[in-house]
Structure 1
Amino acid sequence: MLAPHLTPLPQPGHVHPLPGYPAVVRKPDPDRRRRLAGLWLWAMGILAGAVLNVVFALLGVLGAEGDMLGAMVVGALFAFPPLAIYLFVPTIIDRFDPEPWWCLLMAFLWGALAATGFSIVINTVVHAGVAASFGAPMGELVSASISAPFAEELWKGLGVFGFFYFLRREFDGIVDGIIYATFCALGFAAVENVLYYARAAMQGSDVLAGTFVLRGVFTPWLHPLFTSMTGIGFGLARESSRTWVRIAAPIGGYLLGVALHAVWNFLPTALGRAMGEVFIPWLLLWLCFVAAFFGIIVALVIRKGWVIRDHLRDEVALGMLTQDELELVCSPIGRLRCTLGWRGATGRSFIRAGARLALSKWHTARAMRGNNRTLSADFIAPLRQEIAQLRQALLARAPR
């Protein structure tokens, strides 16, 4: 028998009710098998990719003339520290409903290990086959301009597809597609840069410095630009209830990413040293592409904030949220305010629950318009209960 001052713990499968709120029974997770299948596929891809990377790295060390191992250490020192800046940028852009850290880590590792491992096998085989038949220059051209764009964007894109299909609750639309694609591409670029910097280091410090300036300063966002086309495609598929859009958008996004990647690789490979005459205008053109892309991302993030606000207004009318709470959830610096203020982690959880509620209602409304069903509908009532619980926790710790 419980002491009078103790409250019974919630039973499994239930959300503990608060005074004035009905108990909400949570249904068994209908996505559990799908999520577990995705986790196993991800783990097997990571393991296989890691093995392939190690094998090719060892072959490179054994077959190189000179201290390739030491050069790869230097390459890693130049490739990985800048990630602290690169990875910070997308996290500060998506402020309204940031993706879980473990999802971002999975995306990064997929790009760094699985995508690089499988891509290097394909590119190496294509290069060797074409070079044997048509000569080394043609092998380099085909590998860089055809094989690399198709293979690399395919394997990076499969990482985005994994979140779209196996982790549907963590994939809401275009912004999420771009964020996952960016983390996957930055992981890929980091490992790729180790090889580029290592080869440059073996040619001298001047070559290494020039390679770092080009790849690490001017063009670190090209891989994210290419792969984000696939991310946008899957984002459009997530936001649409039309079957043809759900099929055509990811394919079209992938092909656009391949085309951009191929164009970037083609001219430097085809022209070789003559590329120096047009290199600066060529680089400035691509920097304009990247700048425009970032502008589009910011506009999409702002749109996401509007979606969240629009689908929480009726929660204020129903009394589930106050106007101040609505403003907190919709503020682009709401999480920072909670971190620096008295709300702390509880406040950040409140903001996340509010954003998830809005996006779940958004998905449900779109599905209803298309006469479809969505998993998001099952999370509306539990999220409202979670918001009520978090409000009670915030009230208990509010300054007097």
Structure 2
Amino acid sequence: MSRPHRLRTAGGAALVLALGGCAVLLLRLVQRQTGTTGLLVGLGLAVLPVPFVLAALTWLNQGARLPLRRLALCLAWGSCAATLIALLANGWAGSWLVAAQGSERGQALGAELATPLIEETAKGLVLLAVMLPMRRRPRRGTGPSPRARVRLRHRRVAAGLVLGGTTACGFAFTENVLYLGRAFTDDQQQRLDSIGLGLTPSLRDYDDTVHAFLLRALLTPFAHPLFTALTGLGLAVSLGCARRWTARLAAPAGWLAAVALHGGWNAAAGLGTHGFLAVYTLLMVPCFTALAGLALWARSRPGGLPRHAAGAAVPGQG
């Protein structure tokens, strides 16, 4: 076994151990907030939308042709490491903001500013590691034909959307475990406080759990993938563009767009039902529609590009 191969093997093993450690610590932290029963209920409910999100990303990946190990890394990072970073950092930032700005203003700043910054940065870290190997488009006159360059551009954009969406899918799953498990535990405690154990429980006794499931699992399963896909899109444009200023600005612009959209979405939670529905209809639906249209464009396959030329634009295949 060659030295570079041994180093890659050792690095991969260390990464797996680190992600496993994050998963164990995260499981313990979530269990402390939800209880064991709440954790199991949260796991059962949170997993339901995951196959549908992954199915959409798998369909899009037919245009990007990313290797499975890259997708597995992003999914594991989002569900373990990024969520652990966010859970710890959000708690610290929220406490500091409440102490510095007061309870109401501190909580608002935490939800609308600190949380989006922390979470989109934590998710974006793995995108940097996975997408940096992507090569920039060759200069004019030295690279493939115009049709081939279009195909390369499609694959880069598809890769950014798939990697960002996969990372966020893992993040949303773990976050949903926490929120759904906590809602179930709160509903169970309220039921015990009000009617005790004498009556058979009904669905109406778990209004908060049902509401959280409808909102997070059914109404907005693509919210986090939408945010982080913008970061992936910015990185894809940056790594594939030969124009200096576009290459420099695209990645931070994509990250800032993700943070801004995430912050606007969090702010909608404090606007009441009508305000939330207005933000959902006027902001989230158009953004998701635009991104879905971009995904359709990225997945299209203009002919004329050999496989070996296309592979140069994809992480791990260059």
Q: What pairs up with 1:1-400 in 2 under 5 angstroms? A: 39=12, 42-43=15-16, 46-47=19-20, 49-61=22-34, 68-165=35-132, 173-201=156-184, 202-203=186-187, 204-269=205-270, 271=271, 275-285=272-282, 286-302=284-300, 305-306=301-302, 309-312=303-306, 354=307, 357-360=308-311
Contact 1:234 1:250 in 2 (8 A): yes
Q: Deviations over 1:315-352 (max 9, x none)?
A: xxxxxxxxxxxxxxxxxxxxxxxxxxxxxxxxxxxxxx
Identify the structure with bigger relative contact order (alpha carbons < 8 Å, sequence gap 6+). 2
Letter in 2 for 1:268: A
Match of 2:147 in 1: none
Aligned mates of 1:282, 1:111 — CA distance in 2: 26
Distance 1:211 1:219, change over 3 A: same
Q: TM-score, normalised by structure 1?
A: 0.63
Greater Cα offset, 217-226 or 98-107 = 98-107
Richer in helix (by share): 2
Q: CA distance change for structure 1 residues 58 and 193 in 2, over 3 Å: closer, same or farther?
A: closer
Q: Which has the larger radius of gyration?
A: 1
Could you tell me whether the CA contact under 8 Å between 1:35 and 1:167 is conserved in 2?
no
Distance 1:283 1:83, change over 3 A: same
**Residues 67-94 of structure 1, C-alpha deviation per residue, up to 9 Å, x if partnerless?**
x321121111100132112111111133
Deviations 1:100-146 (A, max 9, x none): 22221111000000100011111000111222343333332122111
Aligned equivalents of 1:40, 1:230: Cα separation in 2: 27
Give the CA deviation at 1:276: 1.8
SS in 2 for 1:108: helix
Structure 1 residues 197 and 185, CA, compared in 2 at 3 Å: closer, same or farther?
same
So what's the TM-score if we normalise by structure 2? Answer: 0.78
Aligned length: 281
CA separation of 1:105 and 1:217: change in aligned 2, threshold 3 A: same
Distance 1:233 1:36, change over 3 A: farther
* 1:178 counterpart letter in structure 2: L
Task: Supply the distance in 1 between the matched residues of 2:106 and 2:17 (Cα, whole angstroms).
Answer: 31
Distance in 1 separating the partners of 2:10 and 2:248: 22
Contact 1:112/1:190 (8 A) holds in 2: yes
Q: Distance in 2 between matches of 1:88 and 1:34?
A: 34
In structure 2, what is the Cα distance between the partners aligned to 1:281 and 1:299?
28
- CA-to-partner distance for each residue in 1:339-366, whole Å, 9 max, x for gaps? xxxxxxxxxxxxxxx3xx13147x5xxx
Which residues of structure 2 form unaligned runs of 5+? 137-152, 188-204
- Aligned-partner Cα distance in 2 for 1:121–1:167: 32
1:200 and 1:211 in contact (8 A); partners too:
yes
